[in-house]
Amino acid sequence: MQVSSPTARGPRGSSLGPLVTTFRFALVAALVLGLVGGLGPSARAESLKDARDKVRKALVQAKKDVSSNKEAVSSADDRLRASESALDKAKSELVYAQQRLAKARAQDASVAADLQAAQDAFDESAAAVLKAQEDVDTQRALVGAAVRTAYQRHTDLQGLGLVLGSETAQELSQRVQWANTIFDSSTSQLDRLTELQSGLEAARARSADAEATLTAKKDASAAHLAEVQQLTRDIADRKAALKTLVATNAKLKAKAQDELEQSKAQYQALEKQEARIAEKLRRSQYNIVNKGGFIKPVNAPAGSPFGMRFHPILHYWRMHWGTDFGAACGAPIRAMAKGKVVQAGWTTYGFGYFTLISYGKMHGAHLVSGYAHQSKIIVKAGQTVKQGQIVGYVGTTGLSTGCHLHLQIYRNGVRVNPMRYL
């Protein structure tokens, strides 16, 4: 039945406890039924004692099970409370994460707009580069035509064709200065080419900047998307994990509580079983025949013993010639063995209603029992009685302070300690 005790269950998380305790209880019950069935009075009583001892041992273990299961319930409750507390704390954290997610999603449009603007700027700059390149190519063609014309007119100027091989504005400017000293007619065309070349270079620079900006915007957009996706996953995973934790701990507590209730129920069942055995044992005590051939006249423990004592009523020391048994008023008094009633009635010497039963010769002597302070006598002098037969009922008649049986044993007419024969 235990949740965590290694002696009552298998590996942690298994459910062997209830099976073990149930088996234990069933075994005890079977033992009780098997021990007390079909036996004689004496053997039956001894078997009842054995069964009682077994039930008591089972009760000790069952009590341990209850205690262990209480601890398990407490531990499970602590875990459940901790997970619930963690869930409450996580809820506030989730609120913050959700706020971050909402903010990030609100930035989606702005990030997309920035990316589109960067893309448009790059596209525009790329178009400007293409247009500037076309203008430069066109102007070079015009300059080339002018040079060819000048060459035809001035053969010594054929070196001016080198102007057309310039790639930068600075290089072109230097060659133009040299060309101007040769022919003035081409100055305006060459100035225009220089201007267009400078424009192409500026357009290329702007296009490079636009491309760098576009790349940065793409990286920022990708990072933003990754953040949104990660936040979304984190929130979902956190919620799921906490819900699972709380649900698991709730099941563990319910299981522990169920096992506790089972152990309590089985403990109570064992208590009832013990009570039933005790009652059967109490009822059978008078049937236990001891080695001397006698049974107890009443089902009660011995109290005031045979010997000197301070009398509770007379208040002086005197001999107590018998043994008192603290039986309840009205409890049956039985013949200790087969015998003959020799006296039954009221006495004037403090015994109240008193009965003497003779058992004849036993243990090498003539034995007689005397029952004092009875509330009622149901046998008569001269009557033969069987062992265990009811002869009267416990009372407090005569010189008595409360209900009890005062038992005396006479051995050859001399009063002796009754416990010698019980």
pLDDT of residue 128: 83
pLDDT at 357 over 80: yes
Rounded CA gap, 144 and 157, in Å?
Answer: 13
pLDDT at 163 over 80: no
- Helix (H) or strand (E) run with residue 393 in it: strand 390-394
Q: What is the pLDDT of residues 19-69, one digit of tens each?
A: 445 545 555 555 544 444 444 455 666 787 788 888 888 888 888 888 888
Pairwise pLDDT comparison (358 vs 100), residue with the higher score: 358
105 Cβ contact partners less than 8 Å away, ≥ 6 residues apart: 228
CB atoms within 10 A of CB 128: 18
Give the mean pLDDT of 258-277.
86
Residue 263 has pLDDT above 80, yes or no: yes
Q: What is the DSSP string of 344-367?
A: EEE-SSS--EEEEEEEEEETTEEE
Look at residue 306 and tell me whether its pLDDT is greater than 50: yes
What are 92's two structure tokens? 């506030």
Q: Which is it for the CA torsion 69, 70, 72, 76, positive or negative?
A: positive
Mean pLDDT across 252-275:
87
Q: Is the pLDDT of residue 213 over 80?
A: yes
Average pLDDT, the chain: 78
